[in-house]
Amino acid sequence: MPDNARHHVRRTLHTGDRLMLLVIDKLLSSEEVAQYRAELDAAPWIDGLATAGTLSAAVKDNEQLDELSPLAIRLGNEIVRRLGTNPLFIAAALPERIYPPKFNRYAGGGHYGAHVDSAIMRVADANLTIRTDLSATLFLCDPDEYDGGELTIEGEYGASSLHMVTPVTRGARVCAFLWVQSMVRDEGKRTLLFDLDQSIQALSGGLAKDDPNLLQLTGVYHNLLRRWAVV
């Protein structure tokens, strides 16, 4: 992901809202992104309406890679494997199941108007059902490659919020996106665990590995996770 990925996303928050929106930089290297783009730019893209639900069809105007194409499956598996080795993603999402990444492209005014994602997604060929607790977008382009195309999220929660992608007026916005079912369904509990984990990580740099307070905090983290996680 490019360094300046955070400029891709805009939040419209109401006072008091607590939304966990996390940027993970460089999940893929620049070389890997270039390789992905070479393959994606040469691939056949299909109308995004092919996978739109009845409500979202009215507001969806983009292109997608055929989810069952060998390229989508191969790159998607690579992305999921990479996420599985990313400590920040693991700490924040506490993933239980990940929906196979989809690839989309917005160009020439393409956009996705305000909509909500389905709460439950079926992956028919894997006989898998996923609750969409979190969503993630992996940008495969630099922000200066296109104008517009901002993911705009309204309200308090992640995947459950009304959101949209504004029209792309120059260039192309090429991304992969996916949903995550978390071991910890409740957003508030998941955020507490993430905050605690990040504090423990920060403190541990300046303390001995057997520091009793550090060990106790680590115990608190795991005992909360044991109470709250469903696996």
* Closer to Ni ion by Cβ: residue 66 or 117: 117
Which residue lies nearer to Ni ion by CB, 52 or 91?
52
**Pairwise CA distance, residues 182 & 230, whole Å:** 9
Smallest separation (angstroms) from Ni ion to the CB of 200: 33
Least distance in angstroms from the C-beta of 165 to Ni ion: 8
Question: Which residue number places its CB atom closest to Ni ion?
Answer: 117
Q: How far is the CB of 151 from Ni ion (least distance, A)?
A: 9
Least spacing, CB of residue 97 vs Ni ion, in Å: 18
Distance between CA atoms of 180 and 231, rounded to whole angstroms? 14
What DSSP element (H or E) covers 64? strand 63-65
CB of residue 80 vs Ni ion: minimum separation in angstroms? Answer: 19
Number of residues counted as binding Ni ion (CB under 5 A): 1
Residue (60 or 190) nearer to Ni ion, CB:
60
Residue among 60 and 197 whose Cβ is closer to Ni ion: 60
DSSP 127-191: TEEEE-SEEEEEE-S-GGGEEE--EEEESS-STTS-EEEPPEEEEEEEEEEEEEEESS--HHHHH
Q: Which of 91, 138 has the CB closer to Ni ion? A: 138
Minimum distance from residue 7 beta carbon to Ni ion (Å): 20
Sequence-distant (6+) residues with CB within 8 A of 62 are 48, 104, 105, 106, 110, 111, 112, 165
> Can you tell me the distance from the alpha carbon of 208 to that of 89, in angstroms, rounded to the nearest whole number?
26
**Tokens describing residue 40:** 């994606």
CB atoms within 10 A of CB 5: 19
> 12: which 2 tokens?
């419209």
Write the interaction track for Ni ion spanning residues 146-165; mark x where CB under 5 A is met and - where it is not: --------------------
Smallest distance, Å, CB 195 to Ni ion?
26
32 or 117, CB closer to Ni ion? 117
- Whichever of 117 and 147 has its CB closer to Ni ion, that residue is 117
* Residues between 95 and 134 with contacts to Ni ion, criterion CB under 5 A: 117
| Alpha-carbon gap, residue 1 to 29, rounded angstroms | 7
Binding positions for Ni ion, rule: CB under 5 A: 117
